[in-house]
Amino acid sequence: MKPSIKQTRDLMGMTINVEIVSSSVTDADLDMVFSYFENVEKRFSFFKEDSEITLINNKKIKQDQYSKDMKTIFALAEKTKEETNGFFDIMAPDGQYNPSGLVKGWAIYNASKLLLKKGFDDFYVEAGGDIQVQGLNRTEKKWSVGIQNPFDPSQIVKIVYLKDAGIATSGTYRRGQHIYDPHDKGKLLTGILSISVIGPNVFEADRFATAAFAMGPRGIGFIENLDSFEAYMIDSKGMATQTSGFAEYL
Amino acid sequence: MNTHLKKILVSLFVISSFVIYSTYQRFGGQSNIFDNSRTRQTAAESYSDLYASFYKNQTSSNPPNLDQMNTKIDDGIVNNGLYKDGEYDGVVADAFYGTVQVKAIIQSGKLTDVQLLSSPNDRSYSIEINNSVIPILRAEAINIQSAQVDIVSGATNTSNAFIQSLDSALNQAKISSSPVSFLQASNNQINTSNSPVNIVSGATNIVAGPATGTLAAIKNHNGAVNIVSGATNVSTSSTGSSAIQNQNGPVNIVSGATNVSTSSTSGSAITNQNGTVDIVSGATNIGSGTASVDRSGYYDDDRENEDEYEDEYEDD
């Protein structure tokens, strides 16, 4: 068992967990990661009047005045939009921009790059259920990641083993809400509760999980047709569908 | 000036300033959340028909153990046949980098559809994905795993906001004598008897009107109306209507900023008979076309900055 430090902080309405397997982790290292998230919030939070995204949406900043990070996010958004045939679009019908489907994964990925730069090889960074894992855990095995039961967040329904990869889960349904077919009231309807996407990094996983979820049951097909990505989708009847390469991670 | 007069005075000050404010809000100025929710309805997605066909070919010899999973679900919120038919907009809930708002549709007493009015991943749904040969993929019933893991991946944040919004929509639909609790009510009247109306919110808007006839934004008989809020707007612009019409129960407003107003011609901001009206607030605006508070009950006000309003006294 190797030494490791884990720290959890609640920032920006999310729980952020960082675990680093190393005997030389300092407070400064951990602060670096969490401050990075605070900076992301300052720039991207809708609930701050002076955040860059709020200023952009209030038309106070023009495109050529965007910060480097903001320009990066907008460029990534455009790329994702093309790759998903428009299912992923940060512009809402009213013209307001909401890049939140990208920012979380991108921020986690950047935070993990900061740790790599500091020389750490074995760690994970997790925020709001999206995770970037690097190297091995403290028992020198791949990181074991449980996929949450959308019917009960205290339970897990699948375990995957990851190394140097990202996993993001997108979902938005009431856990187990009973929804009936309006044409046949005795019948329960199916909807997608969550889709978990595994990819080479959490940024990619996050953006495709977001798009795949928006596609409903076709989302799993979208990921199936995407090289290097696997997914596990759970519907409101408790049925899970996985892409054909998903079993590699079991 | 006696205490009684002081109290009326304070509320009346608010009336005049707030009538102007609420009129501006209602008939001009920036769009409020109601406008936003109407705009977003054009982008709403219905789950009711879209997915049924996809699953008809999937089978499993292992149906999910719904009883086991549902033990946490039947917590009183999901009660078949205990909802009133109609469409109910839930609160606009905070999912961190964005908001989630849902609309619940009840038919024959059951929830038949949940529409997403807005979500942090709110995207254009109109473009179909083209490629679509989806091979047969492995399906299984989910099973609870008992092993320990290093980390958990789930859609917690958005789910919480979704649930928050859906719960508030379902609360509006519920037929029961239990308390009506709102995180935020949007464009609905609250009309109830015998139950308390509890509004605990950072920002609640309850509006009735414009219409003729005696509407109330909150109409409650026999129950308490409790508004504990950072910012609650309760208003109506109908003739002869009250923002809060309450009989026999207390109206308690504990707030940093509560606006209770009406711009109706013969309405009251708060009409309360036989009950107490307690307002403990840093800034409570009670505005009305004619009278601020019309009640035969005891009116008690413990406002901190009472003295400020001393000169604005107006007789009703």
Helices (H), chain B: 3-27, 33-41, 66-70, 156-173
Count of other CB atoms within 10 angstroms of residue A49: 9
- Residue A226 touches chain B, beta carbons under 8 Å: no
* Chain B hits for A224, Cβ within 8 Å: 134-135, 137
Give phi and psi for A232, each to the nearest 5: -135, 115
Give phi and psi for A15, each to the nearest 5: -95, 130
Interface contact flag, B78 A234, Cβ < 8 Å: no
Please tell me which residue of chain A has the smallest CA distance to B99. Answer: A46
Q: B22-40: per-residue pLDDT in tens?
A: 554 444 333 332 223 322 2
Interface contact flag, B47 A179, Cβ < 8 Å: yes
Angle CA B92–B95–B99, to nearest 5: 40
CA of B265 to nearest chain A CA: how many angstroms apart?
A: 36
Calpha distance B228→B280 (Å, rounded): 10
Q: pLDDT (tens digit, 0 to 9) for every residue of chain A, 250 residues total?
A: 899 999 988 776 678 899 999 999 999 999 999 999 999 988 988 777 889 998 999 999 999 999 999 999 999 999 988 888 877 788 877 788 888 778 889 999 999 999 999 999 999 999 988 999 999 999 999 999 999 988 887 889 999 999 999 999 988 544 444 455 555 555 555 578 899 999 999 999 998 998 888 787 888 999 999 999 999 999 888 899 999 999 999 9
Angle CA A151–A190–A144, to nearest 5: 40
pLDDT value of residue B129: 39
Q: What is the pTM of this model?
A: 0.54
Helix (H) or strand (E) holding A57: helix A52-57
- Residue A102 touches chain B, beta carbons under 8 Å: no
Q: ipTM score of the complex?
A: 0.89
Interface contact flag, B154 A150, Cβ < 8 Å: yes
Please tell me which residue of chain A has the smallest CA distance to B95. Answer: A13
Interface contact flag, A104 B73, Cβ < 8 Å: no
pLDDT value of residue A100: 78
- Residue A179 touches chain B, beta carbons under 8 Å: yes
